[in-house]
């Protein structure tokens, strides 16, 4: 249950309550947008912005015995405003001043135009993840309330956010921003680092404490307190933002040679009501789609990248098989609500077009305060702790051709399941498929068989959507009346028709 925060006395050592008091006071004032960087930096081309590089010899904490270091991010391009940065050491707070020479620039003439008080857009944390001699970047905060993280063997991909407001609604989305950070200087033996953040936006302010532990998976304990200036139609807590251009279950765009292109391939949800694990493959729709998956007192949700083989993508530059998954594990009772999935049409891999977050059934009103606590993980797809068999492939084809079937207007849908208790079941065992449909979708047939080449169990369905209606399916496998797998769900809206490809 969300708690209403009460005022307390300030701590002797700077901490979360101090940031919360700043956020509370700020919420009592009218919102004003942060000052933007000069136009020449805001309008700079991406390739030229990439030429502005932080000098690693200027890393914060480089000259200490801490294994953590901090790289500073230049303002400009997507990062249209600077943030205030502070360091906490032995309880004392001191600002991290902007130093123009901390960066190298495309030219001396360009460097002269950088204001001496410009500020930084954010920061990147480093740690020797892959050996004692190199500090690897593992967490980055920059731009609005976005932050990105990786596990030991990942490359950067999807992002998390502090909060989402009215995402996907016709009224337009609001993007609150982190405007100030405080970094606790860790000692030599520290395996964690702590950062605080102050958030501000038209509808709310917020205080955050991030306790960060790098490793095979990056684990971040998040404590947040939100102060609402006004009621919002669709508040989104613990939001995740990713990219899905196309995959095995959607049409391949004309001219594309790569088999798939995405940072995440599905949404995984486990509800507190039933304990059911629900898997929803992502799509790139013809028009914006919003899905509300009931998740009262959610036990976890995340955007997952299950395709982790180079042969799934064949992209030597992007290396999508190394993109991390992200998993949110709420603490305490979050109450009634939904995991909301927003899928936005995109014609390229440049734009993030997928957002997932939890939203309460009753939106907080003006003047209300919400406390949130959760653990956020970035890493391999197993970070969710999923105990059952999982859907590793979803394939769609024409249900009226050789190999698909003989039903006009139908689809052949194949789902490969593996892992969990399935690994201990021999071929020929009495595994049963369960398939249901909605939106007047017809289920013409379904059966399950063991796939010897892959060691997986394949569910085959012949289904037909109603005219101008979404294809809508749910399925899972069982044995002896006991579920073996998560529940696979799929929706294919009108206008995304692979039978014509």
If one counts every other C-beta atom within 10 angstroms of the C-beta of residue 209, the result is 21
Query: pLDDT per residue over 337-391, tens digit each?
Result: 999 999 999 999 999 999 999 999 999 999 999 999 999 999 999 999 999 999 9
Domains and CATH numbers, the chain: 16-48+59-381 (2.70.98.10), 390-500 (2.60.40.10)
Write the burial class of residue 171 (CB in 10 Å: 0-12 exposed, 13-18 middle, 19+ buried): exposed
The residue with greater pLDDT, 91 or 447, is 447
Write down the pLDDT at residue 3: 37
Residues 136, 141, 146: CA angle, nearest 5 degrees: 130
With 0-12 CB in 10 A as exposed, 13-18 as middle and 19+ as buried, what is 428? exposed
Mean pLDDT across the stretch 300-317?
97
Q: What is the pLDDT of residue 497?
A: 64
pLDDT range class, residue 447, cuts 50, 70, 90: very high
Pairwise CA distance, residues 365 & 259, whole Å:
47
Residue with tokens 């809206």: 493
Which of these, 238, 197, 177, lies nearest to 372 by C-alpha position?
238
Specify the pLDDT at position 404: 85
Q: Is there a contact between 147 and 157 (Cβ–Cβ < 8 Å)?
A: no
Instruction: List residues bridging with 259 in a β-sheet.
Output: none
Q: With cut-offs at 50, 70 and 90, classify the pLDDT of residue 10.
A: very low
Tokens 């290396």 appear where? 319
Mean pLDDT (the chain) is 93
Encode pLDDT of 424-443 as tens digits. Answer: 999 989 999 999 999 999 99
pTM for this model (two decimals): 0.93
- Strand (E) positions, 399-441? 411-418, 432-438
* CA–CA gap between residue 359 and residue 237 (Å, rounded): 6
What is the share, in percent, of the chain residues with pLDDT greater than 90? 87
């Amino acid at each position: 249950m969300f708690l209403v925060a009460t005022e307390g006395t300030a701590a002797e050592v700077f901490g979360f309550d101090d940031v919360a008091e700043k956020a509370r006071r700020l919420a009592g004032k009218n919102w004003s947008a942060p000052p933007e960087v000069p136009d020449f930096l805001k309008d700079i081309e991406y390739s030229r912005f990439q030429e502005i590089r932080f000098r690693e010899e200027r890393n914060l904490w480089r000259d200490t015995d801490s294994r953590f270091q901090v790289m500073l991010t230049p303002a400009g391009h997507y990062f249209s405003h600077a943030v205030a940065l502070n360091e906490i050491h032995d309880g004392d707070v001191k600002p991290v001043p902007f130093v123009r020479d901390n960066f190298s620039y495309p030219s001396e003439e360009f460097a002269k135009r950088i204001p001496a008080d410009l500020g930084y857009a954010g920061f990147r944390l480093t740690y020797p993840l892959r050996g004692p001699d190199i500090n690897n970047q593992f967490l980055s905060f920059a731009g609005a309330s976005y932050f990105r993280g990786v596990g030991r063997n990942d490359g950067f991909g999807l992002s998390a956010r502090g909060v989402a407001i009215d995402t996907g609604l016709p009224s337009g989305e609001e993007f609150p921003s982190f405007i100030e950070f405080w970094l606790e200087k860790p000692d030599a033996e520290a395996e964690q680092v702590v950062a605080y953040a102050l958030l501000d936006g038209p509808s709310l302010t917020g205080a955050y404490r991030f306790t960060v532990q790098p490793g095979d998976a990056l684990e971040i304990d998040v404590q947040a307190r939100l102060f609402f200036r006004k009621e919002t139609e669709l508040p989104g807590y613990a939001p995740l933002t990713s990219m899905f251009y196309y995959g095995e279950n959607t049409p391949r765009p004309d001219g594309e040679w790569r088999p798939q292109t995405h940072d995440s391939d599905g949404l995984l949800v486990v509800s507190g009501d039933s304990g059911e694990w629900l898997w929803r493959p992502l799509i790139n729709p013809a028009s914006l789609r919003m899905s509300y998956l009931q998740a009262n007192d959610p036990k976890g949700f995340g955007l997952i990248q299950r395709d982790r083989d180079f042969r799934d993508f064949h992209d030597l530059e992007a290396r999508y098989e190394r993109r991390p998954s992200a998993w949110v594990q709420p603490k305490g009772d979050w109450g009634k609500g939904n995991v909301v999935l927003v899928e936005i049409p995109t014609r390229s891999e440049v734009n993030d077009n997928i957002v997932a977050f939890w939203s309460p059934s009753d939106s907080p009103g003006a003047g209300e305060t919400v406390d949130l606590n959760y653990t956020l993980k970035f890493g391999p797809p197993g970070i969710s702790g999923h105990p059952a068999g999982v859907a590793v492939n979803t394939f769609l084809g024409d249900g009226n051709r050789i190999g698909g079937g003989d039903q006009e207007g139908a689809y052949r849908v194949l789902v490969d399941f593996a892992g969990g208790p399935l690994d201990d079941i021999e071929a020929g065992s009495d595994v049963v498929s369960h398939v249901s449909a909605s939106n007047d979708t017809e289920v013409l047939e379904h059966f399950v068989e063991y796939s010897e080449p892959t060691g997986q169990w394949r569910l085959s369905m012949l289904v037909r959507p109603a005219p101008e209606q979404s294809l809508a399916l749910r399925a899972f496998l069982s044995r002896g009346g006991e579920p073996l797998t998560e529940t696979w769900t799929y929706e294919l809206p009108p206008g995304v028709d692979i039978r014509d490809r």
